[in-house]
Amino acid sequence: MKNKLAFILILLCTASIAGISQETKIYPEKTVYYKTGINNELVYVNEENYQEELTFFIHSETHISLNFYIGEYRYTYFFDYHYSDDNGADGEIQYWKSEANEALLILDPNKISLYSFKDNWAIVYHIKE
């Protein structure tokens, strides 16, 4: 019993020192779905004006995960590499890559774009201004 208690205390101390993941909920204004067509080009599928929330977990400056829904199915993608591009008046655009999911996440001030190269689809979440 003492070993378990000591382990929990060490875990709590370590978590407080390392920092616990920061969670951010995002409620998109509309969501646009794309599928890869015959020539490997993205083709419009449909648009929804209501979409369930997206949840970002920021683990550190170099690691984030994203929870999102496609229909009733929930997905979690983990991104572990990023670079930024300053677009002047439009603000900073961040590009995040996920080797495990074969996906690319692009964050800009007005939308969040998620491309899955493994499953051949893309989702663009338009954010309320």
Residues 45, 35: contact at Cβ < 8 Å? Answer: yes
Residue numbers of the domain that contains 27: 20-126
pLDDT of residue 113: 94
pLDDT level of residue 3 (50, 70, 90 thresholds): very low
pLDDT of residue 8: 37
pLDDT of residue 88: 66
Nearest of 118, 120, 119, 92 to residue 106 by alpha carbon: 92
Residues 96, 105: contact at Cβ < 8 Å? Answer: yes
What distance in Å separates the CA atoms of residue 99 and residue 12, rounded to the nearest whole number?
Answer: 30
In a domain, 69, yes or no: yes
In a domain, 35, yes or no: yes
Is residue 71 over pLDDT 80?
Answer: no
- Looking at the structure of the chain, the number of domains it has is 1
What distance in Å separates the CA atoms of residue 51 and residue 31, rounded to the nearest whole number?
Answer: 7
Residues 91, 108: contact at Cβ < 8 Å? Answer: yes
Is residue 10 over pLDDT 80?
Answer: no
pLDDT of residue 121: 93
